[in-house]
Amino acid sequence: MSTLVRIAPGALVVGKPLPWTVYDADGTVLLCQGYVIQSNMQLEQLFERGLFHPRVIERAQDEPNATGQLNPFAEYPILLKTLETTLKAITAGEENALKRLLGLTRVIERICDESPDASLALVHLYSVEPTIHEQILFYGLLCHSVARAFGLNKARTSMLTSAALVANIGLVPVADQLNASRMILNDEQRAVIRKHPQRSMQALHAAGIRNKALLEIIAQHHEQADGTGYPKGLSGTDICAEAEMLSLAERYVAMITKRAYRERMNATDARKLIASLADGQILRPAIPRALLTILTDYPPGTLVRLSNDEVGLVTRRPVRHRGPFVQAIFSPKGKRYSHTIERDCSEPLYSVLALEEPEVMPSMDFSLLWGLS
């Protein structure tokens, strides 16, 4: 088990599912992916004893003709490590930086196309206190889905997905520190944030990545239709649609993620805020509507209470007049089921009453709940 490495402090959070399976020094499984850390004591024990496989996507895996369905949950830690490696390659100006970016983009698109519900679930299951690399991955997943719902062609969708992965490279060194701060941002920190689109473009240019459409998305993704955005104060149709899609993805992720200085919003409240953006003042109305369409009332990866008093996880969105579909986890008496039971929430007995918001999410085998190997 020589490929195992020690877990870095800060990589895990109480109340958040493990992104990967954790082993001990002998290679024995301690905890599986999806297990939710219950206490600070358990967290310390994992940092002391826990190891994991730091795999990276290989070139053969991201070829278009690769066979077999990818499991988004098994790929999640690999995607994060590959994203980190890709951004470092860009920052270092490595010759293969563009190849790495395009390869990662293809894998994300393939995962979204093959398993759209599970891909959206990743965003909601791991949004407790995400690292900057998790946030960036969420942007890529959401942008691909919104672009498809909006009607962008494949080329423009791919360009947007790539832009979502690199638009915040200028923030990577400081983002986790800013998110962990309980203090109001000072002028210096605000200046760093406002300059990150230019810094990201400079890093890409230095690495030989100079596609005009890609750079335009990055340059404009903090502009707003009413002219109050930055860095140039553009307005209306001077802002490309892809930049607005990236801006919306960032807004939604910010809403549903916890910060040191505030709690996270639930998906219902976040949807209401997204709906308020459809007035055309900040974004083209069709863009927030596209996001609302893909999220639906109860996005995959959210816990809900059913009318029979079961609690379950939304795994599939509605199809025509059926659904959403929920995997029941707890019985009406609050006991954990020993097996998976799918409920069609279009049936009155299993209709959704409300989102369920426990203090700590229950541990789950995500691959099993989605029927993925």
Could you report the per-residue pLDDT of 347-370, keeping only the tens digit for each? 999 999 999 999 889 999 999 999
Average pLDDT, the chain: 90
Q: Coil, strand or helix: which one is 111?
A: helix
Task: Check whether 65 has a pLDDT greater than 50.
Answer: no
For residue 234, give every residue at least 6 positions away whose Cβ sits within 8 Å of its Cβ, in sequence order, or none.
Answer: 220, 223, 227
* Residue range 168-192: mean pLDDT, rounded: 74
**CATH class entry, domain 59-295:** mainly alpha
Instruction: Name the token pair of 293.
Output: 């369409």
Spell out the domain ranges in the chain. 5-52, 59-295, 303-369
Per-residue pLDDT at 260: 65
| pLDDT, tens digit (0-9, with 9 covering 90-100), for 277-324 | 988 888 999 999 999 999 999 999 999 999 999 999 999 999 999 999
Per-residue pLDDT at 8: 73
Contact between 211 and 160 under an 8 Å Cβ cutoff? The reply is no
Task: Check whether 59 has a pLDDT greater than 60.
Answer: no
Nearest to 135 by CA among 292, 269, 305, 259: 259
Nearest to 287 by CA among 230, 229, 221, 227: 221
DSSP lists the bridge partners of residue 219 as none
Which is it for the CA torsion 142, 143, 148, 150, positive or negative? positive
Q: How many CB atoms lie within 10 A of CB 251?
A: 17
Percent of the chain whose pLDDT exceeds 70:
92
Task: Check whether 52 has a pLDDT greater than 80.
Answer: no
